[in-house]
Amino acid sequence: MAELVAKIYSQALFEVGKEDNKLDGYLEEIKFIGDICTEYKDFFELLKTPKISIKEKKDVFEETFEAKISKEVSNFLKIILDKRRITSIFEIIKEYEKLVDEYNGVVKADAYTTMPLDQATINSLEEKLSKVTNKKVELTNKIDETLIGGVKIIICDKVIDGTIKKKLSTIESSLKKLIV
């Protein structure tokens, strides 16, 4: 249910952003709100609690963010408060970001390594993956010390596993088949 709610609301904001030619600006603003809700848990609890009226929540919200976000994003968030969907804000942000990335031809990918990659290597991998996918790839390097060495990339629900751990696992499987 929360996923459906996130898709519906993010799609609504996406349509407004596309019409206003402000998709990326709205993304920055809504992420800013998400960051505030993450950093200031008491503020987020205030927005979620049923003990405070919707009007009071909107007043606090407006007073806090009036000069920091556009009227459109402010109105969008007030609607979320009206409909008591503020608990879905993080899912809405995630879905909206997916829509914007898809519209802009951007694909997110994760590169798992045992040690941090330098920026030149990240750029090289992004370039190669962009050629393969015909989209702009934004790569995030994540550390996984269990891999022993090499790199495992997850992109578009696909896994490219060039790790030593995977190679050892493949050798082990082959040996087990020979022994049996």
d(C-alpha 74, C-alpha 80), whole Å? 10
Crossing angle for the helix pair 54-65 and 71-82, to the nearest 10 degrees:
160
Q: Which of 82, 65, 83 is nearest to 74 (CA)?
A: 65
Measured torsion, CA atoms of residues 78, 26, 97, 150, in degrees rounded to the nearest 10:
-130
* pLDDT confidence band for 67 (50 / 70 / 90): confident
- The 10s digit of each residue's pLDDT in 70-125 is 999 999 999 999 999 999 999 999 999 999 999 999 999 999 999 999 999 999 99
φ, ψ (nearest 5 deg) of residue 106 = -105, 140
d(C-alpha 70, C-alpha 85), whole Å? 20
* pLDDT confidence band for 161 (50 / 70 / 90): confident
**Which domains are seen in the chain, by residue range?**
2-102 (1.10.520.20), 106-179 (3.40.30)
Contact (CB, 8 A) for 9 and 85: yes
Q: Could you give the C-alpha distances from 94 to 99, 158, 164, in angstroms and in order?
A: 9, 20, 33
Is the pTM higher than 0.75? yes
